[in-house]
Amino acid sequence: MRTSLNLIAFLFGGSCLLFSCAKGSGYGSTNNTGGGGSTTTNITISGMAYSPSSVTVKKGAVIKWTNNDYGAHTVTADNGTSFNSGDIAAGGTYSYTASIVDTFKYHCTIHGLSMAGTLIVIP
């Protein structure tokens, strides 16, 4: 009986590890907010880059950028209208709720297009 329980625990733990790794490679860090079923995807700003630089989220998800650099950055849609954080000070955050299904290229207006990312919103 004990061997069966150990095997189940091992298999369950391994599947959680595999799920977590697969989800983390391309989807950013995603947390269930517990409210109305929406999720938050976390993007870190560090080393003059967005990490991950490309994320895919479902419509209605919240995307939260956290500035871990020493200077200010922005999160600004290339089209100039979809979203614009304004300056995010060091240690600050900016959140955006994905309400339109589309692909959005974005950048930091302070540092130009060399500091860029992509937000893909799916139905």
* pLDDT of residue 25 exceeding 50: no
Q: Examine residue 81 and state whether it is found in any structural domain, yes or no.
A: yes
Q: Which two tokens stand for residue 46?
A: 């560090």
Q: Say how far apart CA 14 and CA 102 lie, in whole Å.
A: 34
At 26 the pLDDT is 39
Q: Examine residue 10 and state whether it is found in any structural domain, yes or no.
A: no
Q: Say how far apart CA 8 and CA 2 lie, in whole Å.
A: 10
* pLDDT of residue 7 exceeding 60: no
At 56 the pLDDT is 98
* Mean pLDDT of the 87-114 span: 96
Does 7 or 85 have the greater pLDDT score? 85
Q: Examine residue 6 and state whether it is found in any structural domain, yes or no.
A: no
Q: Examine residue 14 and state whether it is found in any structural domain, yes or no.
A: no
pLDDT band, very low/low/confident/very high, at 49 (cuts 50, 70, 90): very high
Q: Examine residue 18 and state whether it is found in any structural domain, yes or no.
A: no
Domain range for 107: 28-122
Angle at the Cα of 96 from the Cα atoms of 114 and 63, rounded to 5 degrees: 75
* Mean pLDDT of the 92-118 span: 96
